[in-house]
Amino acid sequence: MIAKRERGKMERQLVASLTQACEQAKPLLPGFCWLTHQVDYTRFPDSLVVTWVFDTHANLANALKGDARRQVLALTADALADVGLDGNDVSHHVDFDSEEACRREHGGDWQRRLRATAVRH
């Protein structure tokens, strides 16, 4: 658990590192749009989930069966290492989704969709 006064600093560091990972990924991953993260600092770092969002389910499926999954995990690991979170297996901190699925299942409401995702983790 991180002390309350350290949460803001950690959040800013996470945003900066994940933004850099996002920008690196855009030219490498066809259909990749954006990423976001969720975290409950009372259960940090176990609660941290980085969601990588693709435009369509087809592009997401292609990414997951190709080398893109390894690239996403490596970019995520680098971003987490930048904020002092070195771990052997970042896969439990990574989730994948698509704009298409959010529109179909949650009417495009990403806040509602991400809350539902957080319950699963």
Q: What is the pLDDT of residues 63-101, one digit of tens each?
A: 998 889 999 999 999 999 998 888 678 999 999 999 999
What pLDDT score does 1 carry?
Answer: 60
Per-residue pLDDT of 9-49, as tens digits, reads: 889 999 999 999 999 999 999 999 999 999 988 888 888 99
What pLDDT score does 60 carry?
Answer: 96
The alpha carbon torsion through 90, 91, 93, 99 (nearest 10 deg) reads: 130
This prediction has a pTM of 0.91
What Å distances lie between residue 6 and 42, 108, 112, CA to CA? Answer: 12, 33, 27
Domain boundaries, the chain: 4-120
Residues near 71 by beta carbon (within 8 Å), at least 6 away in sequence: 25, 28, 29
Contact status, residue 64 vs residue 44, Cβ threshold 8 Å:
no
Cα 79 to Cα 75: distance, rounded to the nearest angstrom: 6
Residue 120 scores a pLDDT above 90: no
Indicate the CATH number for domain 4-120.
3.30.300.30
